[in-house]
Amino acid sequence: QGWFQHLKVPRRDTICEARLRCRADPNPDKIDLSLVTFRDDDNNAIVLESVREAKRQAQLADGAHEIQSLAGHPGFVQRAIELAYGADAACIREGRVAAVQTVSGTAACRLFAQFQFRHYRYRQIHMPRPTWFNHLKIWEHLRIQRSDYRYYGGRTRDVNWAGFTQDLERMSAGEIVLLQPCAHNPTGCDLDLAQWQEAAEIMLEGRLFPFFDCAYQGLASGDLDNDAQGIRAFEQSGHEMAVAQSFAANTTLWGERPGCLSFVCSTAKEAEAVQTSLEVMARSLWSSPPAYGARIVHTLLSDPDLRQQWEAEVKGMTETLQQRRQALVQGLMDASEETWQSWALHGSPHQMQDSEDDAPSRLDCEAALNQRGMFSMIGLNPKQVAILHKEHSIYPTRNGRIALGGITPSNLQKAPHSLLSKML
């Protein structure tokens, strides 16, 4: 009789579940499509050259292990907000931004949710359907109610713009809306600048509060400024808002956990109150965030040569992702009609995705070429995913998300073919 006999083993989230199953699979030809890190041909995580150099410089500059302040590395935080809002943004010039370093993007979301729980009257958050699985859990743990808004078009493999704006218009004043500014996880479908501007107007008029979760800046278009256009359109339209930033994917510093949470307030005085509130909350969560990753990112973003090299490498990563997407989709489109029909027998690929039309087609797949960032959704439903896991050692996540970072040059050849042929 133990203290924990009442405890049931909880269900893992879809990403961990796929990863653990893959790790336990003895098949040497298994393909892990749940991974979010970039892999080289030998399945090792890639480290950018600019980051290697920044690492050397950051270590030389300061080898001490002094604890950081509650708000983290001030230089890193400054560079982070400049990257999000633009170096010349009015909110930065006017001292209206409150910001703290966090333990990567996950804890930035968590700290925002905690702030919402503690200081915000409206205990509800609106999230895109579908969204990153951890969004659901972070807010659920704080018992904050969630409601979904339409985002993904399913059959068209694109943003459901009409559904999205209708849902925004139905929300009540004061509510919070979670938005992903670029490389939407898991769909890879983003709004364009005109759509961001229109969404900003609707939300300003409806008095809705935007919370941006920015986990992949640079990896959607290959351009860091371009990928922040949604955040900047909101800032320029006069919104108060919050932004969570992860530097895991765009610097490849996954394990070092540099991240940032910032708030744009209407006055410098309000920003000061928010700043202290964030520091008070951070104190009881992690007291002081880890220094190493923040030092590296600070060096990377401050040294003009390193920064230029980093921006080129981010562009290169984006191009690689697009090539992998292209190869995957082309492989699927080249499959025979018979194969496609067999695939359809396993059920509609749109089960989870707001679609009224059930028939899978090559057109669906072709539309997936327009998706951007780390992921691809080609319409796999949970039943098809289960077959791929159990019978064929191919591991996308349960919602059908394929992580392109996990498609290595060596399995790129076989991935699309085995995805389809092994469904039979």
Looking at beta carbons only, is 132 or 209 nearer to ligand PLP?
Answer: 132
* The one among 210, 259, 331, 379 contacting ligand PLP by CB under 6 A: 259
Stretch that binds ligand PLP, among 104-112, 220-228, 263-271, 413-421 (CB under 6 A): 104-112
* The one among 101, 180, 221, 252 contacting ligand PLP by CB under 6 A: 180
Q: Minimal distance in Å, beta carbon 152 to ligand PLP?
A: 14
Stretch that binds ligand PLP, among 67-75, 99-107, 270-278, 322-330 (CB under 6 A): 99-107
Find all residues with CB under 8 Å of 221, minimum gap 6, and list them: 182, 227, 318, 372
Residue 36 binds ligand PLP (CB under 6 A)? yes
CB atoms near residue 65 (< 10 Å)? 7
Looking at beta carbons only, is 246 or 393 nearer to ligand PLP?
Answer: 246
Q: Minimal distance in Å, beta carbon 270 to ligand PLP?
A: 26
Looking at beta carbons only, is 256 or 364 nearer to ligand PLP?
Answer: 256
Stretch that binds ligand PLP, among 1-9, 84-92, 102-110, 169-177 (CB under 6 A): 102-110
CB atoms near residue 212 (< 10 Å)? 23
Q: Minimal distance in Å, beta carbon 107 to ligand PLP?
A: 7
What is the number of residues in the chain? 424
CA 26 – CA 34 distance, rounded (Å): 17
In three-state form (DSSP H/G/I as H, E/B as E, the rest C), the secondary structure along 207-260 is CCEEEEEECCCCCCCCCHHHHCHHHHHHHHCCCCEEEEEECHHHHCCHHHCEEE
CA 297 – CA 250 distance, rounded (Å): 10
Q: Minimal distance in Å, beta carbon 112 to ligand PLP?
A: 11
CA 206 – CA 209 distance, rounded (Å): 9
Looking at beta carbons only, is 45 or 359 nearer to ligand PLP?
Answer: 45
Burial of 396 (0-12, 13-18, 19+ CB in 10 A): buried
Stretch that binds ligand PLP, among 98-106, 113-121, 227-235, 351-359 (CB under 6 A): 98-106
* The one among 50, 101, 160, 185 contacting ligand PLP by CB under 6 A: 185
Bridge-based pairing of strands 241-246 and 258-264 is: antiparallel
* The one among 54, 98, 125, 248 contacting ligand PLP by CB under 6 A: 248
Residue 106 binds ligand PLP (CB under 6 A)? yes
Stretch that binds ligand PLP, among 40-48, 86-94, 101-109, 334-342 (CB under 6 A): 101-109
Residues in 57-96 at the binding interface with ligand PLP, rule: CB under 6 A: none
Residue 246 binds ligand PLP (CB under 6 A)? yes
Q: Minimal distance in Å, beta carbon 37 to ligand PLP?
A: 10
Find all residues with CB under 8 Å of 28, minimum gap 6, and list them: none
Nearest to residue 102, comparing CAs of 229, 214, 252?
214
Residue 250 binds ligand PLP (CB under 6 A)? no
Nearest to residue 104, comparing CAs of 226, 250, 225?
250
Stretch that binds ligand PLP, among 6-14, 79-87, 100-108, 280-288 (CB under 6 A): 100-108
154 HSE (CA, 13 A, CB side): 18
Residue 154 binds ligand PLP (CB under 6 A)? no
Long-range contacts of 169-173 (CB under 8 A, 24+ apart): 169/202, 169/206, 171/126, 171/206, 171/208, 173/206, 173/207, 173/208
- For ligand PLP (CB under 6 A), the number of binding residues is 12
* The one among 53, 175, 190, 213 contacting ligand PLP by CB under 6 A: 213
Question: Which positions touch ligand PLP (CB under 6 A)?
Answer: 36, 104-106, 132, 180, 185, 213, 215, 246, 248, 259
